[in-house]
Structure 1
Amino acid sequence: MAENNTVVLEFMLVGFPMTRKQEVVVFTIFLLIYVLTISANILIITLVRVSRCLHKPMYFFLSNFSFLEIWYTSVTVPKMLADLVSTKSTISRNGCILQFYFFFFLGAMENYLLAVMSLDRFIAICYPLRYPAIMNERACAQLAGGAWIISCMSPLLPAVSMSQLSFCGPRVIDHIFCDFSPLMKLSCTRNSISEISFMLIARAVILGCFALIMVSYIFIILTIMRMPSTAGRQNAFATCASHLTVVFIYYGTVIFIYVCPTVQESIHLNKVVSVFYAVVTPLLNPIIYSLRNQEVKAALKRAIIKFRGLERVAVK
């Protein structure tokens, strides 16, 4: 067995069983989603940077969120695309562990950033007079910087301990990327430091951030309901609707995968859900924020008008 352990230098990713024609269709769809995701998130970052009306804490965190989504989807999708056009879908042992680390580093960051954004909305609605003083530039930078640092450290122990594990049996990962559970099934050691630490950290991050978000929104809703003005209530709900929609889409999938127990028979369902939160959700988020946010739409219209004006001047 020890001799067999040293042989495992790479893994084979199974993905979804498909015919060649189906792979071409899926490749085209994934490539289109990836290009749109990168483009949409770059557009939001650019709008926040160039539009003075978007120089607010809410949009500072939104630009951080868009920057995160670009790298979050880039950890898995390019490899998926390469596997779809390749006859041999393999990944090295070290490459697999690195993919696991960066995917969950950025996944943790998404949790922390959603929690920070809910805190921002809580202060803005529940303490509007103190909001400018509390959420100043320094506080926003500290919150965002702290979230990035903590996220970077969160999966460090599971990833380092995983790199020390021996892997037995078949080197086939029955998944679309190096997710934790399919990878651990190949380990010779059960209940290892990697497995225990990951489950504790993942549940603490996911459930802790989700609880903070829900508590924030309970206070937000109670405050909104006490507002005397109907227009004020509608405006307050509008500022929270986009963020709350993203929260429910994101947590509806990650809680299913990483918190609720799953059975062996649901492995294909897990793959479908993983595709949704790793590929589809990063595209939905900028669409939700841009289509449901009046300030973002107004900034986009002004940017288009300005661009067309400059284009006409250049032509003349």
Structure 2
Amino acid sequence: MVRTRAELGRHIRAWKQAGESVGFVPTMGALHSGHLSLVEKARENATRTVASIFVNPTQFAPGEDFDTYPRNTETDLAKLASVNCDLVYLPSVEEMYPPGNTTNVRVEGLSDLLDGVYRPHFFYGVATVVARLFLHVQPDVTVFGEKDYQQLQIIRRMVRDLGFPVQIIGGETARDADGLAQSSRNLYLAPDDRIAAGALQAALHRASVRLSLGVMPSEVLAEARALVAAAGFGKIDYVSLVDPDTLLDLPDAPLAPGTPARLLGAAWIGKTRLIDNISVAR
């Protein structure tokens, strides 16, 4: 475990001088088996693995859950040790954002769709902290979970545009037995809400099947929203069918065979906002 960029750099330089490669998984802690699967995938693609734990203040708006976001560093360290993570980076806010900091990274366009409509600050904070972590860790490979699909696409675009010498790999979404995507914020769910929460993935799955059969997207999306609402969700931010690369809405026409498409959804159940997504095969 290291807490400063200088300490981290000594390890990274020694590994690279020895001809080793570095796989990296950035996290905000409160780790679950989905995070650990990303570390395992990083290990499959590099000889050394680094995970970071940093609750990034710039991706939280005033009134969001920065202060209450679940933190349990000792448990997280034990979980990372269980999957043979070589090094854990736990920087302070000052290490990531030096006093007087005025520099930020903005990935325009992709950051302003879907979740960006409801959390307009969020992806600018994500891009800024990930760019800084890349400079600190100097990874050869970085793994991000596909559960946060929009985030994954934004990071891919940032890496392409800025020329970071890192390969971005998407890790498959880890799910509980009822289909609910694993998330640190699932800890917020009340017992009754937890029972109902799997309905979001179920609605997306049904929508994917119906789209693959040629049903009109407008009909499929309306039904999916109705199913989510009927399960006990409150505010539904979006259920959208988009191009997987641009994240722009696809036309309201039956999907032609071979058309790449992705369903994404975000909705509130109780006081918890859940997101999910699923690929559509036609």
Place the TM-score, normalised by the shorter chain, in its bin: under 0.3
With normalisation by structure 2, the TM-score equals 0.21
Question: 1 or 2 for the larger relative contact order (CA 8 Å, sep ≥6)?
Answer: 1
Q: Which has the larger radius of gyration?
A: 1
With normalisation by structure 1, the TM-score equals 0.20
**Larger relative strand fraction:** 2
